[in-house]
């Protein structure tokens, strides 16, 4: 099987908890608070590895977590920052948030990196809360939870030229003749079960990457046959070699069928430059079809070449022309991605209040983060949390919505009982 899709779970490291400590040293009459801050959690990054070409490594492992930050300690010592987690993916990987469907990254270049989950910041120790009027604070924050999400990975092969056509048109034979690739070749439909890549050298010094796609049939864009599974890989190529089977009863009908399937799958595919190639010119049937095919392509404004992949007839001229066309085409443009992949699009201060069962649910970046970082077992911290909710306007919004004493209020994963 060709593993060109995967779904993985990433979890950034949680920030370390802040520390509550006071200086108690000889000859230091006024020690004061000295609890240090927690370390920040590690990030999760996707890194392009040129040595990978499928998602086989994700068959057995789909969970990836970064290291959490260390806890702060006395003497204002900050906790250790967590190590980042690098997840290696092949070139051509498109990264999508599985929950929202938003495209986060289009990874093309070797060693390219993208941050997909940012680690939480460390909680502040009690030294950070000291003021002239509050000289002995006895509270510290929990570390901020690291972002977690499911990602959908989709591989689109990075190739210059894609070879498309009906089954048994000779695509794999052509690839095996012009490159060192060794695709499976046999005289029956659907011999090719996965895309094959080959590096083609033109005149000894120019090169391009050729991709042989599994054969398409009528209805492929709707899921018929095998080729529909790999049409996404053609989207990345800049030029198409449309290979026609010269031994087929009607090569022109095959030509129309393939173009229709490409257009139904993606409008961009229908607009890609094409070079039409009639293969198997070593057979009498192909020689008889060639004048008709050549005239039909000229009428459509298409370039047409006649070759025999088995004997090599016309192959060199075809490759030269393909490379010449490639040089005039722009490089593939990456997909449009979200400019920020680790924070929600809305303002952090924004929040919503809605009814949830017999209680209430408060949603908002800052509100949920504040609840997660508050140690409710410390009375001073709980009182501070109440002041923060009122400053954000959450308290007023709950009262306006009709909250009553004894109602449960959910903020993030915290469940709090409302009291007058």
The band of 275, judged by pLDDT with boundaries at 50, 70 and 90, is very high
Helix boundaries (H) for 357-412: 365-373, 379-392, 394-401
Task: Tell me the pLDDT tens digit for each residue of 85-137.
Answer: 999 998 889 899 999 888 898 888 889 999 999 999 999 999 999 988 888 89
**Total of domains in the chain:** 3
E strands, 266-311, in order: 274-279, 303-306
Residues 305 and 165 in one domain: yes
Q: What is the mean pLDDT of residues 131-160?
A: 89
Residues 132 and 167 in one domain: no
CA–CA separation, 220 and 236 (whole Å): 18
Helix boundaries (H) for 188-270: 231-234, 251-265, 267-270
Domain ranges, residue 400: 352-417
The band of 337, judged by pLDDT with boundaries at 50, 70 and 90, is low
Q: Share the mean pLDDT of the chain.
A: 84
Q: For residue 227, what pLDDT is reported?
A: 47
104 vs 181: which has the higher pLDDT = 104
Q: What is the mean pLDDT of residues 215-241?
A: 62
**Which residue has 């046999």 as its token pair?**
186
- In this predicted structure, the answer to whether residue 341 has a pLDDT above a threshold of 70 is no
Residues 9 and 149 in one domain: yes
Whether residue 92 contacts residue 236, with contact meaning beta carbons closer than 8 Å, is answered with: yes
Domain boundary among 155, 177, 212: 155
Domain boundary among 101, 122, 155: 155
CA–CA separation, 200 and 255 (whole Å): 25
Closest CA to 165 of 174, 155, 178: 174
Is 343 contained in some domain?
no
Is 255 contained in some domain?
yes
**Which residue has 């070139």 as its token pair?**
91
Residues 202 and 302 in one domain: yes
DSSP secondary-structure letter at 167? T
Q: For residue 345, what pLDDT is reported?
A: 46
Is 210 contained in some domain?
yes
Looking up residue 255, the CATH number of its domain turns out to be: 3.40.50.300
Closest CA to 173 of 160, 158, 191: 191
Looking up residue 374, the CATH number of its domain turns out to be: 3.30.300.350
Is 361 contained in some domain?
yes
Residues 269 and 358 in one domain: no
The band of 192, judged by pLDDT with boundaries at 50, 70 and 90, is very low
Closest CA to 138 of 39, 258, 18: 18
Q: What is the mean pLDDT of residues 231-238?
A: 75
Burial class from Cβ neighbours inside 10 Å (0-12, 13-18, 19+) for residue 58 reads middle
Task: Tell me the pLDDT tens digit for each residue of 373-415.
Answer: 999 988 899 999 999 999 999 999 999 999 998 999 999 999 9
- In this predicted structure, the answer to whether residue 221 has a pLDDT above a threshold of 60 is no
What percentage of the chain carries pLDDT values higher than 70?
86
Residues 18 and 165 in one domain: no
Tokens of 242: 């449309």
E strands, 12-146, in order: 44-48, 63-65, 85-89, 93-97, 103-107, 113-117
Rg over alpha carbons for the chain, rounded to the nearest Å, is: 31
- In this predicted structure, the answer to whether residue 183 has a pLDDT above a threshold of 70 is no
- In this predicted structure, the answer to whether residue 255 has a pLDDT above a threshold of 60 is yes
Residues 15 and 150 in one domain: yes
Residues 192 and 254 in one domain: yes
Is 230 contained in some domain?
yes
The band of 179, judged by pLDDT with boundaries at 50, 70 and 90, is confident
The band of 361, judged by pLDDT with boundaries at 50, 70 and 90, is very high
Whether residue 155 contacts residue 5, with contact meaning beta carbons closer than 8 Å, is answered with: yes
Is 339 contained in some domain?
no
The model's pTM is 0.72
């Amino acid at each position: 099987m060709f593993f060109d899709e995967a779904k993985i779970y990433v979890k950034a490291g949680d920030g370390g908890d802040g520390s509550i400590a006071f200086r108690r040293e000889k000859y230091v009459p006024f020690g004061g608070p000295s609890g240090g801050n927690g370390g920040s959690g590690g990030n999760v990054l996707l890194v392009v590895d040129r040595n990978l070409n499928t998602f086989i490594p994700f068959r057995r492992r789909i969970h990836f977590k970064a290291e959490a930050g260390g806890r702060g300690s006395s003497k204002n010592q900050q906790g250790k920052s967590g190590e980042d987690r690098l997840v290696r993916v092949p070139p051509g990987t498109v990264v999508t948030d599985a929950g929202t469907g938003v495209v986060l990254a289009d990874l093309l270049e070797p060693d390219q990196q993208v941050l997909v989950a940012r680690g939480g910041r460390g909680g502040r120790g009690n030294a950070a809360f000291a003021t002239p009027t509050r000289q002995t604070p006895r509270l510290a924050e929990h570390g901020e939870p690291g972002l977690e999400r499911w990602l959908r990975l989709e591989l689109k092969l990075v190739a210059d030229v894609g070879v498309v056509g009906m089954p048994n048109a000779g695509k794999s034979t052509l690839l095996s003749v012009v490159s060192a690739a060794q695709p499976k070749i046999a005289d029956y439909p659907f011999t090719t079960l996965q895309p094959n890549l080959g590096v083609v050298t033109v005149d000894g010094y120019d090169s391009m990457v050729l991709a042989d796609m599994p054969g398409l049939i009528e209805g492929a864009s709707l899921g018929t046959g095998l080729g529909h599974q790999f049409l996404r890989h053609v989207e990345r190529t800049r030029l198409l070699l449309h290979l026609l089977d010269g031994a087929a009863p009607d090569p022109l009908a095959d030509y129309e069928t393939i173009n229709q399937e490409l257009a139904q799958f993606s409008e961009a595919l229908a607009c890609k430059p094409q070079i039409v190639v009639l293969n198997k010119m070593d057979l009498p049937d192909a020689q008889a079809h060639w004048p008709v095919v050549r005239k039909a392509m000229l009428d459509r404004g298409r370039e047409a070449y006649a070759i025999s992949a088995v004997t090599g007839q016309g192959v060199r001229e075809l490759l030269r022309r393909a490379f010449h066309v490639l040089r005039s085409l722009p490089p593939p443009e990456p997909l449009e991605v979200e400019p920020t992949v680790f924070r929600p699009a809305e303002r952090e201060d924004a929040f919503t209040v809605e009814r949830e069962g017999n209680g209430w649910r408060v949603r908002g970046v800052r509100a949920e983060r504040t609840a997660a970082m508050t140690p409710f077992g410390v009375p001073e911290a709980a009182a501070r949390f109440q002041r923060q909710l009122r400053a954000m306007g959450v308290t007023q919004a709950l009262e306006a919505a009709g909250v009553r004493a004894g109602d449960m209020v959910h903020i993030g994963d915290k469940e709090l009982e409302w009291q007058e």
